[in-house]
Amino acid sequence: MTPSGPQRVRRDNGWRVERYPQTVAGVKDLEPDLRNRLVRAALELALHNGLDGVDIPSVAEQAAVPPQTVQQQFGTHDGMMLALLDFVLARTLDADRDLRTGDTGRRQLGDMVAAEMEGLRRQAPVVELIFMFYFARRDDLYRARIREALANYRRSFENALDGVELRRGVDAAVMSSIVIAFLQGAAVQIIRDPDNFQPAAAIAEMRAMLGVG
């Protein structure tokens, strides 16, 4: 049975996160598309065992398919991990979806930041996987993908600020960089120091600093 409340989890690397199991769908509940089913199986393994616990035999067992089926879908272990990373990035950094709003005015920016902070809290275990991917390898296999996703996220945030009243002398590009830096710091804190993660207080400080209601 999936617990209804948050669980404290300590990983081998010493990071602690608030895990919200209800935000991670079970494999049995997935749509029938095979590739998506395999990626979700890899996600479940990664959330519980870290990236080192994700390999073709384990994903095959989790998804109840032969290992050859996983190889046919992804080719190699790297191909499978890139598919998992793409899924994680789409789930956490889809700013075009997350920032879509019909509201305008001075309150909009603060509300957008608040929504993103709440998303960090809900998706903490998945956000942690981005950090794991970034530091998993020294080459650019994963890092290039993450940098591209973050650049797209910043651009989407900048576009979302179009028409929002900002402080005098601050343009959307500068403001989006400030906000993204703030959110990245919040992501680090929710992974490394969740006990002291206080989104309401942080958002209040951000609103005051940016001069938004």
Q: Is residue 170 part of a domain?
A: yes
pLDDT digits (tens, 9 = 90+) for 82-139: 999 999 998 888 655 555 544 444 456 677 777 788 888 888 899 999 999 999 988 8
Q: Is residue 3 part of a domain?
A: no
Q: Answer for the pair 16, 196: CB distance below 8 angstroms, yes or no.
A: no
Query: 175 pLDDT exceeds 60?
Result: yes
Cα–Cα distance between 84 and 119 in angstroms, integer? 19
Clarify whether residues 104 and 158 are in a common domain: yes
What is the span of the domain harbouring residue 198?
A: 98-210
Q: Is residue 24 part of a domain?
A: yes
Query: 180 pLDDT exceeds 70?
Result: yes
| Exposure b/e, 37-48, CB count within 10 A at least 16 = b | bbbbbbbbbbbe
| Residue finishing a domain among 23, 54, 89 | 89
Classify residue 160 as left (phi > 0), alpha (psi -120 to 50) or beta: alpha
pLDDT digits (tens, 9 = 90+) for 128-173: 999 999 999 888 999 999 999 988 888 877 777 766 666 666 677 7
* pLDDT for the residue numbered 28: 43
Q: Which phi and psi (to 5°) does residue 10 adopt?
A: -115, 125
pLDDT, average across residues 177-206: 81
CATH of the domain at 29: 1.10.10.60
What spatial distance separates the first Cα and last Cα of the chain, rounded to whole Å?
43
| Residue finishing a domain among 66, 89, 112 | 89
| Residue finishing a domain among 65, 89, 113 | 89
Q: Which phi and psi (to 5°) does residue 12 adopt?
A: -60, -30
Tally of domains in the chain: 2
Clarify whether residues 81 and 102 are in a common domain: no
Clarify whether residues 166 and 144 are in a common domain: yes
pLDDT, average across residues 197-205: 77
Clarify whether residues 175 and 139 are in a common domain: yes
pLDDT-derived band at 73, boundaries 50, 70, 90: very high
Clarify whether residues 164 and 191 are in a common domain: yes
Clarify whether residues 200 and 107 are in a common domain: yes
